[in-house]
A = this chain, B = another copy of it.
Amino acid sequence: MVTIKDVARRANVSVATVSRVLNQNGYVSEDASRIVLQTIKEMNYRPNAVARTLYKKTSNMIGLIVPDIENPFFPELARAVEDVANLYGYTVVLCNSDQDVEKEQRYVEALKQKYVDGLIMTSHQSQFNDYVDENIPIIALDRIGDERLTTVVANNYEGGRQAAHYLKEKGAKSLAHIRGPKGIASADERYRGFLDYVMENELEYVVEECSFQLSPAERLAARFYDEYPQADGVFASNDVVAAGFLKVALKRGIPVPDQLQLIGFDGISFGHMMYPELTTVAQPIYEMGALASRLCIKLIEGKEIDQSKNDPESFFHQLPVYMVEGDTTKK
């Protein structure tokens, strides 16, 4: 591997000079600059990022921790984070926490040892108060729990309300909400929104709980349709669960949307892959990821940190959700 020393030797200058033209700082004469650039090209020299990191204590890497990249919500998010990071010259290190606090902890530790410049952490049950003491910027994405962290979330509460409202408008008389796991903030919020709305409007409703996965959703759906045959408007806490409910309904020959209307949450892309297409409360997934990434970089590069301390708006970013009208609700 060719180092800065090799270049310096060949160009008959000192390493300091080479470093200067590399970083474009400090004075360096036209001549020197030209010859150095030339030799760099000739020797195909690439500065060693690790050495640089060691000295500068910054790696141009961002750690992204997700509970499970296989959950279709996260690839879209990850993609956005990476796109923006890339734009600014950062590399993203992706980690699966598996919702395991210890595993997450280990990752954070490992990443810090690698001098990652910032961390973006997605939804999780823990409150992770421990992390705020870390000396690197952390963005909470789709995750609430510590007000001291810069946060990016969708308006889950409003989404819950909208779902209930939409079902009511479409004529559903007996609502159901399949809520996500207790303790996961986004699930809790969607539930709260739904509940507030049905209470305010004195609607008939039931609530069941289900993890954000297909198989549990299918099992629950089977039981649910037996138990609550009168339910004609189901709001699932995410699209995967909604898909499970849709699948079981179709399998049983329950007419969707005529007898049973169905709304999901998230707006992940495969909602469009099925037929009937899923009606869903969509989060601006890509925007959320992009924003989180941008904020993280902003914090890293030290811009506007103070401002954000004072301005609540730039501390807590809640993005609006929007209805995507598919075929699982009436026109």
Contacts and interface: CB of A to CB of B under 8 A. Distances in A.
Interface of A: 46-51, 53-54, 59, 68-70, 72, 74-76, 78-79, 82-83, 91-96, 109-115, 214, 240, 243-244, 246-247, 250-251, 269-270, 272-275, 277
Given A46-B113, A50-B50, A270-B273, A70 B76 contact: yes
Contacts of A51: 54
Given A69-B79, A247-B274, A113 B214 contact: no
A251 to B, nearest CB: 6
B48 A113 contact: yes
Contacts of A272: 214
A274 B110 contact: no
A244 B251 CA distance: 20
B91 A91 contact: no
A-B pairs with the 5 shortest C-beta distances? A49-B113, A247-B275, A94-B94, A243-B273, A250-B275
Given A70-B269, A246-B275, A270-B270, A114 B78 contact: no
Contacts of A247: 273-275, 277
Contacts of A83: 96
Contacts of A273: 214, 240, 243-244, 247, 270, 274
B112 A50 contact: no
Nearest to A76: B70
Contacts of A91: 93, 95, 110-111, 114
A53 B113 CA distance: 11
A92 B91 CA distance: 12
A251 B275 contact: yes
Nearest to A71: B75
Residue of A95, A96, A275 with most partner-chain B CB within 10 A: A275
